[in-house]
Structure 1
Amino acid sequence: MTALMKRGIIVSCQALPGEPLHGGDTMLKMAAAAYQGGAVGIRANGPEDIAMIKREIPLPVIGLFKRTQEGSDVFITPTRAEVIAVIEAGADIVAMDVTDRENRLEQVKELLACIHAAGRLAMADISTFEEGIAAEKLGFDYVSTTLSGYTPYSPQQNGPDLALVKRLAGALTVPLFMEGKVARPEEALQALDAGAKYVVVGSAITRPKWITETYTSAVSSWLNQSEAEGAPKR
């Protein structure tokens, strides 16, 4: 097991089915680029990508397994089957949904025990302050703000939830990760300044479709406004 040793940037290398970069060794190449760029860890989804990255990249790997379940909103490593798959793939840290919905805080006790029995570390992906506190009490080794803005009862905002980071940093004793909607280096620095030990960046680095859309959307808005201003007045 490769432990996280120093503070810094974790790069989330994920592509879901239907996205242009899904499949093959694309995420391995993304992870290699992140390693060369100075990342201190990789976050990866699914046994295939986790195993491939773990074999080739000398960085700690945070593994998860996104799987939808009928009638449930929980999809980040939801059951024991996904936990075992992530462990067997070689992840150093297993990340899962630890939100206060669908009796999840009770369900994760068994999953947490499974992770620790395998000699791995466990990360709680939470969306609120109360969930972060509950995760530490349950025995999770890391807490991450991954799901802030993705549960209906957490703040819905465009940028990272720095207020949550600051509040949790003052209350937790386990390492805190800032993840979610970090789009610029300045926001990563703000997260560190607020007390995060690590900052996870995904879309802004590893999703070129999303990156392109941020540019094309801005340009389209500018062009539409320019055309409207330049149109002859009636």
Structure 2
Amino acid sequence: MGEIVEDSLVASLKGGFIVSCQALEEEPLYGAEVMAAMAAAAEEGGAVAIRANTPVDIASIKRKCKLPVIGLFKKNYPGSEVYITPTMREIREIAEAGADLLAFDATRQPRPNGETLEAFVAAIRRAYPRLRLVADVSTFEEGVAAMALGIDLVSTTLSGYTPYSPQQERPDIALVARLAELGRTPVLAEGRIWTPEECVACLRSGAHAVVVGTAITRPQEITKRFVRAIRGALQADRA
């Protein structure tokens, strides 16, 4: 196993907990000030970084919170399923908003305008050589390909969100372990992590840090889980 060489920012995340503060336009907590308050609460709770969507939210969070921000910008383009920071336009906007790290879709799905992942990463490096890059992947092969491009961090964010990756309710800890075993690039565990126990399991499997969003910052989804559990228990009691 090779030795991972880390810079100071990447090293500062090691063994830490990252909170994803995101809300879509149709959700009750949508709004930059709300997300900034979420980020401040996460900082107070001991998070080591924030993951945030849109330039407006990133800028607001940077004003209120001292933690490094993993920035992304979700956009849909015709003919492509890639939506997490899909083009250089989104990269530029989140970089200018103050993101410390740039997260983007690094899956093998077709990119907007037929651009290759290799060309996209090269363009980012030319424009923003000092910013760290986070590759969101869905499979082991995608993670390996991202590592070959010299990405700073590989995240399992999209496992289960591409049609060819494992469709499961629990976090893809096996993917975390396989990528971490390579010893090449630090791995972020993200996706369907609901409990502290699952966080610890990810870290023990080799994750550099763990990212959790919905279980903390989307109360409507948290409420749904409680409601489903209650209804299921009541139905079972009546049976």
2:131 to 120, 123, 129: 120
Distance (Å, rounded) in 2 between the aligned partners of 1:109 and 1:90 = 24
Offset at residue 3 of structure 1 (A): 2.3
Tell me the amino acid that sits aligned with residue 38 of structure 1. G
| 1:165-184 → structure 2 map (5 Å cutoff) | 165-184=176-195
- Identity, % of aligned pairs? 52
Offset at residue 139 of structure 1 (A): 1.8
Query: What corresponds to 2:62 in structure 1?
Result: 54
Distance (Å, rounded) in 2 between the aligned partners of 1:78 and 1:23 = 22
Pairing 1:209–2:215 present: no
How many pairs were matched up? Answer: 227
Offset at residue 54 of structure 1 (A): 1.3
Pairing 1:109–2:115 present: no
- Equivalent residues of 2:81, 2:111 under 8 A apart: no
**Highest RCO, 1 vs 2 (Cα 8 Å, sep ≥ 6):** 2
Offset at residue 205 of structure 1 (A): 0.6
1:44 to 17, 35, 52: 52
Kindly report the root-mean-square deviation, in angstroms, between the aligned alpha carbons of the 2 structures.
1.6
- Equivalent residues of 2:32, 2:56 under 8 A apart: no
- Normalising to structure 1: TM-score of the pair? 0.92
Offset at residue 112 of structure 1 (A): 2.2
Query: What corresponds to 1:232 in structure 2?
Result: none
- Equivalent residues of 1:46, 1:86 under 8 A apart: yes
- Equivalent residues of 2:49, 2:70 under 8 A apart: yes
- Equivalent residues of 2:51, 2:70 under 8 A apart: yes
Closer/same/farther in 2, CA of residues 131 and 106 from structure 1, 3 Å limit: farther
Structure ID, larger Rg: 1
Tell me the amino acid that sits aligned with residue 108 of structure 1. L
| 1:10-159 → structure 2 map (5 Å cutoff) | 10-102=18-110, 107-116=116-125, 117-118=127-128, 119-159=130-170
Distance (Å, rounded) in 2 between the aligned partners of 1:124 and 1:106 = 16
Distance (Å, rounded) in 2 between the aligned partners of 1:152 and 1:115 = 27
